[in-house]
Amino acid sequence: MREQEKYKHMMKKVIDQTENHKIQSSEELIKLLINELTNGTDIKGNIQTLAK
């Protein structure tokens, strides 16, 4: 159950960032999700990395 809550929280962040135009392409979204799933890092930090 805890794992499911983690994924729900991660997806909510991704949706929020997409709606706020921080993620602008499907490639950015896929890279972010892969990185999040493999490293378990914070999404906000990943978005800043992708923007560079």
State residue 38 phi and psi, 5-degree precision. -85, -35
| Contact (Cβ atoms closer than 8 angstroms) between residue 47 and residue 31 | no
Q: How many domains would you assign to the chain?
A: 1
Label residue 23 exposed, middle or buried (CB < 10 Å: 0-12, 13-18, 19+). Answer: buried
Provide the residue range defining the domain that includes 17: 2-51
Question: Residue 48: its pLDDT value, please?
Answer: 54
Question: Residue 46: its pLDDT value, please?
Answer: 52
What does the block give as tokens for 49? 């990395």
| pLDDT tens for the 52 residues of the chain, in order | 688 888 898 888 888 888 888 888 999 889 888 887 887 655 555 555 555 4
Question: Residue 27: its pLDDT value, please?
Answer: 93
Cα–Cα distances (Å) from 5 to 38, 46, 51, in that order, read 17, 20, 27
pTM of the model: 0.58
